[in-house]
Structure 1
Amino acid sequence: MAQARDRDDVSDRIAGATAAEISESVRDLVDRGELAPGDHLPSVRALAARLGVNRNTVLAAYRSLVTARIAITGGRTGTTVLGPAQNPDEGFTAGTVLRDIGSGNPDAAHLPDLAAAFAGVEPAHVLYGESVIDPALAEWATEWIAADHPRPFRLSITAGAVDAVERLLAQSLVQGDRVGLEDPCFLSSIHTARLAGYAPVAIPVDREGMTVEGLRTALESGARAIICTPRAHNPTGVGISAARAMALREVLAEHPHVLIVEDDHFSLLSTTPYSSIIAPTHHRWALVRSVSKFLGPDMRLAVTASDPVTANRLALRLSPGTMWVSHVMQRLAAGMLRDTATQNLIADSGAHYAARNRAFVALLAERGVHAQGDDGLNVWVDVQGDTAEAARRLALRGWLARSGAEFALDQDGSTSDSHLRLTVHDLDEADTQRLVEDLATAIAGVRATGEGA
């Protein structure tokens, strides 16, 4: 990071009479390189006095800069310009010689054979203006969704769950709007909210899912949308219990027009029952189910069921003249989803992930390490100490782990920075035993260091 320059040196370059004008002035200075990463912005009081505006105007401008990840507020250090965002993302880490146990990937050995599936696809040209949804996929998806939501809904097909969530928020929110996200949170949801300029509101997650008090606080703060993972929450693996879902519905009953987006990404692989927080009387809602975890990450396709208003707005962003999902991809997915062998493989894969994660958690428990892997592809390990140090110690033993701090939405109030998220379901028995021993040793070292500090 460049050496920070004094606030007085940049104060006279910032102009504007409204929050939007002040924010745009700072953004322009950053774009032109006149404000560099690490530069301090003037204090709210000083800039307001120089520009002759109310302090709340400057405060609002700075908040928009923080929301857009152009600046960061650090208490006594004031507001500082950020450098290019280095956002962690899912998947393998490039350029490492370590064994990557933080990827969050499904096991390729438990995905369907694409070559065989392609052989059953009958290609046909689809022209501009024709239906954006393949009839066979629509029929299968309607039956699938209706089993859980026996109410009127409309289907949309998007290029994966992340694409669906991004489009759903874009048709309902504007920059600066608050959106409730789980904490810890799926990385892509964090990126989607911040890159679009929404203001994320952290809703804590416990062993029964999104907390009632957290949801209530988010709604009272003005959140206009809530993104929820009903099961196989990433990174913790928890699912929303039936009792918790009903309690969350009661809170949401007073906010029927707040958009609820359920990202049921694990769906057919899940060993946890689906308990929805979407009540039959809620007006604005969407259920998103991707196929990437059980048909393969390169199958960029998700099914979204939503209320008519939300569906109409979403349809404008998936018009038959521009942005539909390839019908070849849709026919491929429909063929696999109706294939008995693929259905059996999906069921076996879900059982495989659950069994491998349970076994790993049990082995750690024998060594005094608490972890959870209720559902999903990952295990959430409680280090009870410095996860950066735990990850460093694991790296010395040949393992690349992912720190829970990457998933923290509320950096000050989250417990994520005391956890590691590990993907262990594809390890053989020998590697599993070796990782358990190395992890227990690393955590013991971290705890001993912390106790001696």
Structure 2
Amino acid sequence: MLEIIDIEGRSAAEIADSLRTLIERGALRPGDALPPVRALAEQLGVNRNTAVSAYRQLTSAGVVVTLGRGGTRVAGAAAVAQEGFAADTALRDLGTGNPDASFIPDPSGVLASIARRPVLYGEPVIDPDLERSALTWMGGDLPEGTPLRLTVTSGAADAVERLLAQALTRDDAVALEDPCFLTSIHTVRVAGYRPVPVPVDDEGMTVEGLRAALDQGVRAVICTPRAQNPTGASLTAGRAAALREVLAEHPYVLVIEDDHYSLLSQQPHHTLISAEHRRWALVRSVSKFLGPDMCLAVTASDPETADRLAMRLTPGTTWVSHLLQRLVHALATDPEVAAGIRAAGEHYAARNAAFSALLTAEGLPTRAGDGLNVWVPLGAPARAVSEQLMRRGWLVRPGDEFALGDHGASERLRLTVHELDDAEQQRLAADLAASVRAVRERSAMIDR
């Protein structure tokens, strides 16, 4: 612990500045404990509330974290797993979460047609053609008569980050699905919000979990209505209705639906958003079917949220490139591309179903959900199973990377298997079953 004598100041601002200087100079490092409030106040000869205020300023700025009985410590950057290919591996990577590149449409055929006159400052930020088609695309899945406005952002993660920023302050509570999409975990943690886990089952976010999160005072809820990542769960009509009933008592809690899979999904869209809810946003990106590098998402939201979201865009780039918007519109409305998107969705579903059937036959009953991945129950620690699979040439992603609480994710794997052919899927299923048996046998020997 730092010697109290090194800290100076008489006001809360002076004490906070003194501590920030010590942290910036390396005298205090991430994880180091700060002096107890009472001891600091006595040493500096200030009121206890002054010391409390200094620590609160540092907490709000994300410089320190308060751990209850664990005291106050210097904050550090928490490592969060990221989606995508693993660097520098010779193993077959099944943890990418990527779409199949062969199903990403070639944009070269429409590029020439979108190069119209340049767009200048002060013009509408949404391309008119994209806006017209997006109003139909988004509005058709919301309650009839719901007033909405559209915003275009640089992908779904950008939309979610800005939606949270316009509504929350540091340490506000956010309800997240558990297990959860890695980018959502990263967004919430980096911004200093407090994640509140809501368990997910085969029908999506659970009613009791959402009710408990609302009782804890969450100010925002992020929900994936279909193809939940990593579980593949999609909201059923009954579950969505029950969740809307719970949310009816909290009309000003911001509800964000991240419908990332949208056009690829094999399931209907059932929304959490009711006509009476006051703060809401439906986000749909194009990255899963037009390619991750397209970096565009359309957000439909209530008018007040749309205004605030627009304000969050003004300090930097005020619009997404109109060339990109035109490209997205041209591709999404092309009949041949649309047919390819439908074929891609059917392909992912068929490959995931085939692999799940192989695992079930191997004694690992697995349900094929919607989406790009398969969420595999092991009945054994996933980390140990993943080590066994590495010896057999496979790189996989253990479920605890997606976990916020203890809801069984530590005995799950998330596998991206849609690019494997039949023989490769059969070999993986056999290797996975053998790996699980090896882990269980080792555990049994230790317990003897």
Q: How does the TM-score come out when normalised to structure 1?
A: 0.90
* Residue 389 of structure 2 corresponds to residue 394 of structure 1: yes
User: C-alpha separation between the residues in 2 aligned to 1:78 and 1:386?
Assistant: 32
Residues 77 and 156 of structure 1: CA distance in aligned 2, closer, same or farther (over 3 Å)? closer
User: C-alpha separation between the residues in 2 aligned to 1:236 and 1:60?
Assistant: 43
* Shift in Å, 1:271: 0.7
> Is the 1:45–1:55 Cα contact (8 Å) retained in structure 2?
no
Give, as a single letter, the amino acid of the residue that structure 1 aligns with 2:420. Answer: L
User: C-alpha separation between the residues in 1 aligned to 2:28 and 2:379?
Assistant: 39
Matches within 5 A, 1:233-312: 233-312=228-307
Q: Which moved more, 1:54-63 or 1:383-392?
A: 54-63
User: C-alpha separation between the residues in 1 aligned to 2:418 and 2:292?
Assistant: 17
Other-structure match for 1:138: 131
Q: Please, which of 169, 178, 181 is the counterpart of residue 174 of structure 1?
A: 169
* Residue 83 of structure 2 corresponds to residue 95 of structure 1: no
User: C-alpha separation between the residues in 1 aligned to 2:212 and 2:204?
Assistant: 16
Other-structure match for 2:331: 336
SS of corresponding position for 1:323: coil
> Is the 1:40–1:78 Cα contact (8 Å) retained in structure 2?
yes
Q: Please, which of 365, 371, 375 is the counterpart of residue 380 of structure 1?
A: 375
Q: Please, which of 306, 322, 325 is the counterpart of residue 327 of structure 1?
A: 322
Matches within 5 A, 1:111-130: 111-130=104-123
> Is the 2:265–2:371 Cα contact (8 Å) retained in structure 1?
yes
Q: Please, which of 190, 197, 200 is the counterpart of residue 202 of structure 1?
A: 197
Residues 57 and 247 of structure 1: CA distance in aligned 2, closer, same or farther (over 3 Å)? farther
Give, as a single letter, the amino acid of the residue that structure 1 aligns with 2:340. Answer: L
* Shift in Å, 1:24: 6.4
* Shift in Å, 1:428: 1.4
User: C-alpha separation between the residues in 2 aligned to 1:320 and 1:76?
Assistant: 40
1:268-323 deviations in Å (ceiling 9; x for gaps): 00011111111111011000000000000011100100001001111223349942
Residues 118 and 385 of structure 1: CA distance in aligned 2, closer, same or farther (over 3 Å)? same
* Shift in Å, 1:449: 2.4
SS of corresponding position for 2:294: coil
> Is the 2:15–2:54 Cα contact (8 Å) retained in structure 1?
no
1:124-164 deviations in Å (ceiling 9; x for gaps): 20000000000111111111112111322111101000000
User: C-alpha separation between the residues in 2 aligned to 1:106 and 1:18?
Assistant: 55
User: C-alpha separation between the residues in 2 aligned to 1:414 and 1:67?
Assistant: 31
SS of corresponding position for 1:298: helix
User: C-alpha separation between the residues in 1 aligned to 2:219 and 2:184?
Assistant: 15
User: C-alpha separation between the residues in 1 aligned to 2:11 and 2:366?
Assistant: 50
Residues 372 and 48 of structure 1: CA distance in aligned 2, closer, same or farther (over 3 Å)? farther
SS of corresponding position for 1:317: helix
> Is the 1:162–1:189 Cα contact (8 Å) retained in structure 2?
yes
SS of corresponding position for 1:202: strand
Residues 382 and 21 of structure 1: CA distance in aligned 2, closer, same or farther (over 3 Å)? farther
SS of corresponding position for 1:335: helix
> Is the 2:94–2:397 Cα contact (8 Å) retained in structure 1?
yes
Q: Please, which of 335, 359, 366 is the counterpart of residue 361 of structure 2?
A: 366
Q: Which moved more, 1:346-355 or 1:414-423?
A: 414-423
SS of corresponding position for 2:292: coil
User: C-alpha separation between the residues in 2 aligned to 1:249 and 1:161?
Assistant: 23
User: C-alpha separation between the residues in 2 aligned to 1:340 and 1:302?
Assistant: 21
Residues 272 and 324 of structure 1: CA distance in aligned 2, closer, same or farther (over 3 Å)? same
1:237-288 deviations in Å (ceiling 9; x for gaps): 1011111111111111111011100000000000111111111110110000
Other-structure match for 1:213: 208
User: C-alpha separation between the residues in 2 aligned to 1:16 and 1:108?
Assistant: 59
* Residue 409 of structure 2 corresponds to residue 416 of structure 1: yes
Residues 40 and 133 of structure 1: CA distance in aligned 2, closer, same or farther (over 3 Å)? same
* Shift in Å, 1:222: 1.3
Return 5+ residue gaps in structure 1 as ranges. 1-6
Residues 258 and 442 of structure 1: CA distance in aligned 2, closer, same or farther (over 3 Å)? same
Give, as a single letter, the amino acid of the residue that structure 1 aligns with 2:136. Answer: E
SS of corresponding position for 1:132: coil
User: C-alpha separation between the residues in 2 aligned to 1:26 and 1:367?
Assistant: 58
Other-structure match for 2:431: 438
> Is the 2:356–2:374 Cα contact (8 Å) retained in structure 1?
yes
Q: How does the TM-score come out when normalised to structure 2?
A: 0.91
Give, as a single letter, the amino acid of the residue that structure 2 aligns with 1:112. Answer: P
Other-structure match for 1:232: 227
User: C-alpha separation between the residues in 2 aligned to 1:183 and 1:63?
Assistant: 30
Other-structure match for 1:189: 184
1:193-246 deviations in Å (ceiling 9; x for gaps): 111111111111111111111111211111111111001001111011111111
Give, as a single letter, the amino acid of the residue that structure 1 aligns with 2:206. Answer: T
* Shift in Å, 1:443: 1.4
Identity %: 54
Give, as a single letter, the amino acid of the residue that structure 2 aligns with 1:436. Answer: A
* Shift in Å, 1:445: 1.5
* Residue 350 of structure 2 corresponds to residue 355 of structure 1: yes
User: C-alpha separation between the residues in 2 aligned to 1:433 and 1:86?
Assistant: 34
User: C-alpha separation between the residues in 2 aligned to 1:130 and 1:408?
Assistant: 44
Residues 349 and 152 of structure 1: CA distance in aligned 2, closer, same or farther (over 3 Å)? same
> Is the 1:16–1:22 Cα contact (8 Å) retained in structure 2?
yes
* Shift in Å, 1:191: 1.2
> Is the 2:11–2:50 Cα contact (8 Å) retained in structure 1?
no
* Shift in Å, 1:385: 2.4
1:162-199 deviations in Å (ceiling 9; x for gaps): 00001111111111211111111111111111111111
Matched length: 443
